[in-house]
Amino acid sequence: MERLHIVGQGIAGTALAWQCRQREVPFRIYDEPRASTASKVAAGLVTPIAGQRLTLTQGWSFLTEMESFYRNVSSLLGTTFYHRYETVRFLANDVEATRWQKRIGDPVFEEELLPGAPSLANEVFHTPAFGTFRMKRAGFLRVNAWLEASRGWFRKEGGYEEARIDIEECDPGVGTWVFANGPWMLGLSSFDWLPMRFAHGDILTLSIPDLADDRRILSSSAWLLPLGDGLWRAGSTYEAVGHPETLPSANGRASVDANVQKILRCPYDVVDHAAAVRPVTLTRFPTMGRHPGKPHLAWFGGFSSKGVLTAPTYARRFLDHLLDGEALPSEVAER
């Protein structure tokens, strides 16, 4: 069977490698270590109703497959990586409140909701001026733990190498080289025509002693994810930039901080600040395919803010395409 050489061990490359193992496709995964990548800083959130438009998340129909995918990897590795957590959404303004009124009673949205209002202690939270709702099938992946444990397993099986792969030196005689290397894909001459862009994101870690026992995800203009022991991740910004290398930005930090202050009235400290660049496309759907002129090269990326939810399903469909000639899902831009 054709061997796959997967370049990049972020969420995309790791999901693809696990799907290879599931199909018993021989693979090897290569990763150039970097302190900060989108996968390393991501909060790993999966939220049914998101954004200012309050629509059902793109790719939400993948939820069942996603949960079973992470569960299967967890049973093999002996640790749980994906957790369902209730998510409380605070409507941020009149526009959102009006939009939400139109969703009430729609069975598509009702299915995702928990009944009743959230309990919000007065000394911790501002009184929500525009309303709230609660989502039940939300959750998050402990992305770094999943990446690290997967790396350990691939390494033990002889399928992992720490290396920077130069696209000009990929040997066509040894199988297909799949570039799942996030925003760095655009810097490669063979893929500089891909419809990908860069979106910088800042993310903070907060210490919030008054919220030490809360296990809900809080979401508004900012979101807050409990890590335990009073630590929370808070984020994130989304800003178009011109290159994949990035540093935490003072403006990004101030913006997340200001949005957190709209939810919380209790004191907190910022204990860490990280940033990375998301690989995004104009359609917000990922992009994948085999290179039209160099069939030993392929690409898989552009997961935007939905890598955790959508990478497992798209990885399976992409393998069906590469190995069996199945058509790619119509929404995926192949060119």
In this chain, which of 59, 128, 175, 201 binds ligand FAD, going by CB under 6 A? 201
Binding status of residue 59 toward ligand FAD by CB under 6 A:
no
In this chain, which of 4, 5, 8, 62 binds ligand FAD, going by CB under 6 A? 8
Least gap, CB of 265 to ligand FAD (angstroms): 25
Binding status of residue 319 toward ligand FAD by CB under 6 A:
no
Binding status of residue 203 toward ligand FAD by CB under 6 A:
yes
Binding status of residue 67 toward ligand FAD by CB under 6 A:
no
Binding status of residue 11 toward ligand FAD by CB under 6 A:
yes
Q: Which stretch binds ligand FAD (CB under 6 A): 109-117, 182-190, 265-273, 325-333?
A: 182-190
Q: Which single residue is written with the structure tokens 């957790």?
A: 83
Least gap, CB of 98 to ligand FAD (angstroms): 27
With CB under 6 A as the rule, give the number of residues binding ligand FAD: 41
CB-based burial of residue 238 (10 Å sphere; 0-12 exposed, 13-18 middle, 19+ buried)? Answer: middle
3-state SS track over 188-245: CHHHCCCCEEEEEEEEEEEECHHHCCCCCEEECCCEEEEEECCEEEEECCCEEECCCC
Give how far Cα 304 sits from Cα of 64, 196, 212, 222, 239, Å: 20, 10, 31, 17, 12
Distance CA 320, CA 326 (A): 5
Q: Return the sign of the alpha-carbon dihedral for residues 81, 199, 241, 162.
A: positive
Binding status of residue 90 toward ligand FAD by CB under 6 A:
no
Distance CA 99, CA 219 (A): 16
Contacts (CB under 6 A) with ligand FAD, residues 219-258: 235-236
Pattern 284-303, ligand FAD, x by CB under 6 A: -----------------x-x
Give how far Cα 163 sits from Cα of 30, 173, 309, Å: 6, 19, 27
Contact residues for ligand FAD, defined by CB under 6 A: 7-13, 30-32, 34, 37-39, 41-45, 164-165, 180-184, 201, 203, 235-236, 276, 278-279, 301, 303-309
